[in-house]
Copies of this chain bind each other. A is one copy, B any other.
Amino acid sequence: MNNTKQRTLIYETVQGSYAHPTADDVFRAVRRDLPNISLGTVYRNLNVLTELGKIRKISVPGQPDHFDRQGEWHDHMVCERCGKMIDITLRCTPPLAEQLAIQSGLEVTGYSLVAQCICPACAEEKEDQPMGQAAV
């Protein structure tokens, strides 16, 4: 696998961020350093890096896929008002993957847990008046 500056930069961008960027977010970010990079290259590399397990892809209903740094395992919560994504390190005993494997009797190779929530900012807003969507 070749180490191109595009691939390196895309990886560093995702791995260095806690903002759960979409492919387009990554595209706009790396374009600051590599103005000629194409969106296709970003998608291709995000997929390669996901495949290699170097970053994670998170699917959220009704939104484009998000990408996330690899680090300690964690799950995600999404504010149903503003769409903001929040990390949560859910501690279960036994661990969720184990419970899934035991209770299903199948080989579990991974899982994705995305909870909907009301984030603190939106919860506060509600107390004033029923407003529309806040900006992401």
Query: Which residues of chain A have a CB within 8 Å of any CB of chain B?
Result: 57-62, 65, 77, 80, 86, 88-92, 96-97, 99-100, 103-104, 106-120, 123
Contacts and interface: CB of A to CB of B under 8 A. Distances in A.
Copies of the polypeptide in the assembly:
2
A114 B119 CA distance: 23
20 contacts: A57-B61, A58-B61, A59-B62, A61-B112, A77-B108, A80-B109, A86-B104, A86-B106, A89-B103, A91-B103, A96-B113, A100-B115, A100-B117, A104-B115, A106-B123, A108-B116, A109-B116, A111-B113, A111-B114, A111-B115
Contacts of A120: 106
Q: A58, A99, A120 — which one has the most chain B CB atoms within 10 A of its CB?
A: A99
Contacts of A119: 106
**The 10 nearest A-B residue pairs measured at CB:** A111-B115, A59-B61, A106-B117, A107-B118, A110-B116, A109-B116, A113-B113, A100-B115, A88-B104, A108-B117
